[in-house]
Amino acid sequence: MIDVSHDPTDRVESSVELSVVIPMFNEEEALPALVERLRPVLDGTGEEYEVVAVDDGSTDGTAEHLAQLRAGWPQLRLVRLRRNSGHQAALTAGLHSARGAYAVSLDADLQDPPEKIPEMLALARSRHLDIVYGVRTNRSSDTGFKRRTAGAYYWLMRRLVGTHVCAQAGDFRLLSRNVLDALKALPDQPQVYRLLMPWFGFPSGEVTYRRDPRVAGHTKYPLRKMILLAVDSIIGFSVAPLRLAIWLGALAFCVCLGMLVYTLAVHAAGDTAPGWTSLIIAVLFVGAVQLVCLGVVGEYIGRIYTAAQQRPTYFVADDTAMAIARQARKT
């Protein structure tokens, strides 16, 4: 694995207290507003901090823009991924390479307010919490469709994964070093953080905030990616679909049994059951159930296959902090 961010000496060498991890995919338009709001907040904390901007294979001017910004903002650190790996993988790359005692994950589009970061940090310190979730009190900035699908998603996840899944907590959260280390110890697989974090069971708290509209650009989560996230969430955290497959099979069996009893009864009455329609429905029904069950089993086998290959979910092309550290070691 060519991943320089897993250097175990990172933390020892660093005195960074707070890392702010921001995955970015084609966020050139949002960058100026982001810096304008984020920098005063972080400078105002008086903490030693770093901003880990993960460029998730952007094809617009994001990388160049970040490089220019870095010239006047030494705390800005660029982690460039070789190709677009997806939001959760980019977040993983950023969290793996974060050197702070605490890390906050933030979206680049200012839907989550950076002004809440000091509050999160203060809460974690005062109550010795390992995770502080940003919980959305208002999602009026999201479309009705997004709100409804998000509502259905959290409803399902709370039933499948458990009630400790925090509805309305997205990816704006603070993690302590304990959590970051626990995360590094996990095998490098695609993660759905909003489910993984409650699953860890670390002491946690909440900070509420209003979800603002995207400051510029457009969403990088089209319907296709939302469906993939939902499938990853269900398959990654629950075997319920496999159980459902058993129940579907049992239902098909009962239906067939019913039809058998009916046919025998009709036969006993000296008649024959009418054929073609019922036959074709029965054949198609059983066939459909089998295909659905096969598909469910296939999804799980696919994930076992991917996990067995042990391929990393992201590749770091370069990381400014690591490059500086390597240079310092050489001289």
**Residue ranges binding Mg ion (CB under 5 A):** 107, 109, 111
Distance CA 107, CA 116 (A): 13
Distance CA 207, CA 43 (A): 21
Q: Given candidates 97, 111, 233, 320, which one binds ligand UDP under the rule CB under 6 A? A: 111
Q: Given candidates 4, 18, 24, 124, which one binds ligand UDP under the rule CB under 6 A? A: 24
Note whether 108 binds ligand UDP by CB under 6 A: yes
Question: Quick count: other Cβ atoms within 10 Å of Cβ 159?
Answer: 12
Nearer to ligand UDP, 10 or 107 (CB): 107
Distance CA 93, CA 315 (A): 8
Alpha helices in the chain, H assignment, sequence order:
10-13, 31-45, 62-71, 87-97, 117-126, 144-160, 177-185, 193-200, 223-237, 240-268, 276-309, 320-330
Residue 205, phi-psi category: left (phi > 0), alpha (psi -120 to 50), beta (remainder): beta
H or E element, residue 81: strand 76-81
Burial 173-191 (b: 16+ CB within 10 A, else e): bbbbbebbeebbeeebebb
Note whether 220 binds ligand UDP by CB under 6 A: yes
Distance CA 173, CA 133 (A): 5
- Structure tokens, 216: 């510029």
Min dist CB 3 to Mg ion, Å, is 26
Note whether 221 binds ligand UDP by CB under 6 A: yes
Nearer to ligand UDP, 9 or 137 (CB): 137
Q: Which does 29 bind (CB under 5 to 8 A by kind): ligand UDP, Mg ion, none?
A: none
Min dist CB 125 to ligand UDP, Å, is 26
Note whether 27 binds ligand UDP by CB under 6 A: yes
Min dist CB 46 to Mg ion, Å, is 29
Note whether 141 binds ligand UDP by CB under 6 A: no
- Structure tokens, 24: 């970015």
Min dist CB 66 to ligand UDP, Å, is 12
Min dist CB 84 to ligand UDP, Å, is 5
Question: Judged by CB under 6 A, which stretch of 156-164, 173-181, 214-222, 241-249 contacts ligand UDP?
Answer: 214-222
Q: Which does 195 bind (CB under 5 to 8 A by kind): Mg ion, ligand UDP, none?
A: none
Note whether 23 binds ligand UDP by CB under 6 A: yes
Nearer to Mg ion, 99 or 116 (CB): 116
In single-letter form, the type of residue at position 263 comes to: T
Q: Given candidates 28, 35, 86, 321, which one binds ligand UDP under the rule CB under 6 A? A: 86
Question: Judged by CB under 6 A, which stretch of 86-94, 185-193, 248-256, 278-286 contacts ligand UDP?
Answer: 86-94
Distance CA 121, CA 130 (A): 10
- Structure tokens, 223: 């319907």
**Positions that interact with ligand UDP (CB under 6 A):** 23-25, 27, 56, 84, 86-87, 90, 107-109, 111, 219-221
